[in-house]
Amino acid sequence: MKNASCTVCMLKSKAARSLQHSELDLLGESCVQAVFEPGETIFKQGALSSNIIYLQTGLVKLTIKGPQRVQIMRLKKAPSYLGVPTTMGDKINHYSAIAVERCTACFIDINTFKELLKVNPAFSYEIMLELCRNELEQYQRCVKLVQNQVYGRLAANLLIFANEIYNSNEYDLPLNRNDLADLVCTSRETVSRLLAELAKESIIEVEGKHIRILDNERLENISEKG
């Protein structure tokens, strides 16, 4: 862990770029950087929290305790703020964040964060926009979950990895089959079967965690139609 100089940071968030010099100094004073290896918990549901996390680089999964077990809600890719909704209201985390790939994260003291929201409307506005985007994304995820069947949801998630996370139609899945199943809201066995199915149809190529999308169009079709 080291104290960061936010002023010279090249990985500033869009929100942080609207801060004044003096405000960035304030941010830098109460901002501590840390590295997380895959599997390491960045913050944990139920624990007290007095920080907002700015995810500079890497990929995390957000998990939440459900009635039966812990569930992966979504992946979140840097750059992004984590734990804004979970820390703003009360001080207790309402979900966990766990590194899925190597991450660098800045821990910002919540009081400093609130102070910045207060003194800089542009900063505040950017944070608010991010919250709004999250809510809309969440609605979309939810309807898709209800109305599409597993085949479509799996296809959708493979496309998200390709288009939104790795920007390539060839990539290594950062999750094992269990976590992938969790993300798609299905069982491990079904994921196995459907991946085999997609491969048999020559829509993708699967080799362990390595995925290669062969027929983007058909995959998108499956993702849309269910």
Partner DNA sequence: TATTTTTTGTGATTTACATCACATTATATT
Partner DNA sequence: AATATAATGTGATGTAAATCACAAAAAATA
Q: Does 19 bind its own copies (CB under 8 A)?
A: no
Nearer to its own copies, 172 or 224 (CB): 224
Question: Rounded to whole angstroms, what are the CA distances from 95 to 48, 49, 57, 86?
Answer: 11, 11, 20, 7
Task: Report helix angle 150-160 to 216-225, nearest 10.
Answer: 130
Q: Does 172 bind DNA (CB under 7 A)?
A: no
From the list its own copies, DNA, none, which binds 46 (C-beta under 5 to 8 Å, kind-based)?
none
Residues of this chain, 127-166, that bind its own copies according to CB under 8 A: 127-129, 131-136, 138-148, 152
Q: Cβ(27)–Cβ(6) under 8 Å?
A: yes
18, burial (CB in 10 Å: exposed 0-12, middle 13-18, buried 19+): middle
189, burial (CB in 10 Å: exposed 0-12, middle 13-18, buried 19+): exposed
Residue with tokens 């196995």: 192
- 133 half-sphere exposure, CB direction, 13 A CA radius: 9
From the list DNA, its own copies, none, which binds 92 (C-beta under 5 to 8 Å, kind-based)?
none
From the list its own copies, DNA, none, which binds 141 (C-beta under 5 to 8 Å, kind-based)?
its own copies
Q: Does 94 bind its own copies (CB under 8 A)?
A: yes
Segment interacting with DNA, rule: CB under 7 A, options 29-37, 92-100, 130-138, 170-178: 170-178
From the list DNA, its own copies, none, which binds 151 (C-beta under 5 to 8 Å, kind-based)?
DNA
CB atoms within 10 A of CB 10: 5
Residues of this chain, 176-195, that bind its own copies according to CB under 8 A: 185
As measured in angstroms, the least distance from the Cβ of 46 to DNA is 23
Run of H or E including 101: none
Please pick, from the candidates 66, 67, 89, 208, the single residue that binds DNA as defined by CB under 7 A.
208
Residues of this chain, 50-89, that bind its own copies according to CB under 8 A: 64-69, 71, 73, 84-86, 88-89
Nearer to DNA, 40 or 109 (CB): 40
